[in-house]
Amino acid sequence: MTYQSALLIVSCILAISVCGWLVVRLSSRVESLSKKTAEQNKQLLELRSEVQALQDALHEIRAGSLGVGQKVRDLVSQLQETKAAQDELKGTEPESKLYGVATKMAKQGASVDEIMQECELPRAEAELLVQLHQ
């Protein structure tokens, strides 16, 4: 065996060793990447599930807000009707104020004529108030 043959054999053994070492390193790296990929796939599935849950919740909120909007419109309509009725009652309010003033005067001892003159009430009503509050 010559020196060149021995050198060639040592070089081949060294090359085979390096290749073996590279195969071990690469397989370790592939295994590590496979684990990371599996973890990322699991996270992706969890995130998709969360996104779906959030989309469902958003859909429910939108549906609820439509119902709230209709309820607000109904309440505004009722408020307008109530305001109209209140405005209508305000038209009769001076009359009720006169009866309040007449009642107060009767409680303070005013005469029937004073109540008739101040509150513009008929005699019968003024007499009734005086009799009730003596």
What does the pLDDT read at residue 40? 95
Q: 30-34, 41-45, 77-81, 91-95: which range is least confident on average?
A: 91-95
Band of the pLDDT at 13, cuts 50, 70, 90?
very high
114 class by beta-carbon count within 10 Å (0-12 exposed, 13-18 middle, 19+ buried): middle
What does the pLDDT read at residue 94? 55
- pLDDT tens by residue, 75-124: 899 989 888 888 776 655 556 667 788 889 989 998 989 988 888 889 99
**∠ CA(127), CA(128), CA(129), 5° rounding?**
90
What does the pLDDT read at residue 102? 87
Q: 21-25, 59-63, 87-91, 115-119: which range is least confident on average?
A: 87-91
* Better-scored residue on pLDDT, 93 or 64: 64
Q: Using the Cα atoms of residue 128, residue 132, residue 133 and residue 134 in order, give the sign of their dihedral.
A: positive
Which pair of structure tokens corresponds to residue 77? Answer: 């309509």
pTM greater than 0.75:
no
Residue 51 scores a pLDDT above 90: yes
What does the pLDDT read at residue 91? 58
